[in-house]
Chains A and B, each alone.
Chain A
Amino acid sequence: MTGIAPRLRDMERFFEGIVPSIIATSSARGIPNVSYLSHVVLVDDEHVGLSNQFFNTTLTNLSENPQAAILLVDGARGGQCRLRAVYEETVFDGPLFSRVSTQLDATSAQVGMAGIMRLRGVDIFRVLDITVYPSPVAAPIEPVASEPLLEASASLAMTLAGLPGQVDAALDATLEWMRDTLACGQAAIFLADENTGHLATAGSLGYERSGVGSEIPFGDGVFGSAARERQIVKISDLSRARRYSAAVKASAGNENLTRTIAPPMDAETMSQIAVPMVAGGRLVGVLGAESRQRLAFSVVHEAALTLAAQHLAAFIALSEASPEDQRPIPPASPPDRSARRIDIRYFAFDDSIFIAGDYIIKGIAGRLLNHMLKTHAETGRTGFTNRELRLSTSLKLPEFKDNLETRLLLLRRRLADKASPIQLVPTGRGQFSLEFDGRPAFIAETEEDGR
């Protein structure tokens, strides 16, 4: 036997089930038994699962002597290997059972055995060692090309597919995926507003400041260029051109004074990549990643990010197109007079709003927040709908498509990022409520700019 000791995860082609696998067991008295198996599945690096249909003798033997030998055959080249394994348990439901059952039903139907090969359970074995058998012809075993980024992209697609339409959760899942899959230090997601020509930071990971709510004009830097050109933009070595770190210093001032949120930036960045998110021909946003390593992003990273970007874009577009809930808004509840006061300052000249002394946001989002807080102050109401905000003429929302969902999303994430005592909490599709950690109180409106 050869000295090669492959890992289970490198043996994909042995688990295809093209050539039947075989299991040998033996009874307590040492009487061997050998049976064909229909399916052996990879569970993890140390375990395999066997489809249990009708190996009565095998099961009896395993109950007496849990040791087994399993012969697997490479479905492409015929190479054979033996797993020495110990039976641990049988599972009768759960995701692994469903996966094997579905696979078994499909292949049974194919060979005219629909219904005969019904799965009873999946027997889980711990693999002790793997032996590759010699072949009389040229070495049949080739390492299977591993595509970890492709697998990771598939995993993200499945995660997004399973989320119940909440863009917040999709953004967070994608950010985590970027950090883990690209192994980059920093990741950010920007949402695009094609009317104003700006990207807004919807979330980030790995930066000193998250920059949620900050804006980058189309065409500005790597991320803005990706938005304007709708092309992947990549810089693999920023060591000479340190324009970026200058920009970091320039924009890192006190946002309470500048009334501008600084975009997420890392002065030590060496590599950057920005991938546009497009759905139905519309620019939805940009995925951005940065690393302190030179040449951090390969063409394979580009491909993985492209898949992720378009999946997320489609997710957001689908969420926006879904009908909003029509549940009645909960009645107003009396304010808690004993709670601590939350000072709110609103400046009409730029629609900026400060909560408990902290600059939150300005522009249309500031106007929206002010409107809701005013409504709450007048009526005590905390529940709101996108629909009523859209209809409200007092908001002077632009004529063009209002992008309301994105604005509310950014506002919500900005309040969360600031850990503000006032939060916006989604309560349904197109419905949300204001939550207060204290008693909101407007400080007289002023035309001053507060600088």
Chain B
Amino acid sequence: MRFDEEIAEFIAGPVMMVIGTCDGANQPDVGRGVGCRVLLGTEAIEVLISGWQWPDTVANIRETGEAAFTFVRPSDYRSLQLKGAASLREPTADDLALCERYIAGVTTALAEQGVPSSMIDVWLTNRELAIARLDVRAVSIKTPGSSAGSLVGAQA
């Protein structure tokens, strides 16, 4: 599916990114992303993942090719989840630069909410970056409230 510009701006902004995957035995796992870019003109995004910190997440994507990414804005809990088929590629210099910008941006956004940078340093790292491409099938609202879970686009 194609998502609008507002969504594209939101997910590529200073928001926290969490990743849901599962292995071949359908055992789920949790991870974090450290940067996102929307591939303009396509229905795909790329999310950066530290393979050093989240080896199971990276291994799961490689094994099953499925992922769910949830993006949350620290200031108001606005949350969106994107699901679809996922695949991996090696990082480039651009990816490393994106990761650096993302970490700086989200650290500022979290600091505004009172989260000390010493904590954020624990969560976000660019070590052994892997780049997960997600061909988005569905976008759903995950913001707490009555609309939580409702789909923005097509079925997951």
Q: Which residues of A contact B (CB under 8 A)?
A: 1, 19, 22-26, 28, 30-36, 38, 53-57, 65, 67-71, 73, 77-80, 82, 84, 111, 113, 116-117, 133-137, 140
Contacts and interface: CB of A to CB of B under 8 A. Distances in A.
B33 to A, nearest CB: 11
Interface of B: 18-22, 26-30, 50, 52-55, 64, 66-70, 72, 77, 79, 81, 83, 115, 118-123, 125, 127, 140, 142, 144-146, 148-149, 156
Main secondary structure on chain B at its contact with chain A?
mixed
Contact of B28 (A19, A32, A57, A73): A32
9 contacts: A22-B18, A31-B156, A32-B28, A65-B26, A80-B122, A116-B144, A133-B54, A136-B50, A136-B121
A134 B55 CA distance: 10
Nearest to A65: B26
A78 B146 CA distance: 30
B118 A26 contact: no
Given A31-B66, A32-B68, A116-B144, A82 B29 contact: yes
A442 B125 CA distance: 89
B68 A33 contact: yes
A54 B121 contact: no
A30 B53 contact: no
A69 B121 contact: no
A259 to B, nearest CB: 71
A164 B54 CA distance: 54
Contacts of B20: 24-26, 32-34
Contacts of A68: 28
Contacts of A19: 115, 119
A32 B53 contact: no
Given A25-B20, A78-B121, A36 B79 contact: yes
B121 A113 contact: no
A35 B66 contact: no
A36 B70 contact: yes
Given A34-B18, A36-B18, A136-B121, A22 B144 contact: no
Given A32-B22, A56-B149, A67 B28 contact: yes
A426 to B, nearest CB: 52
Contacts of B81: 33-35
A25 B83 CA distance: 13
B156 to A, nearest CB: 6
A56 B30 CA distance: 18
Contacts of A135: 53, 121-122
Contact of A34 (B69, B148, B149, B156): B69
Nearest to B142: A35
A23 B121 CA distance: 22
A34 B27 CA distance: 13
A134 B52 contact: yes
Nearest to A76: B119
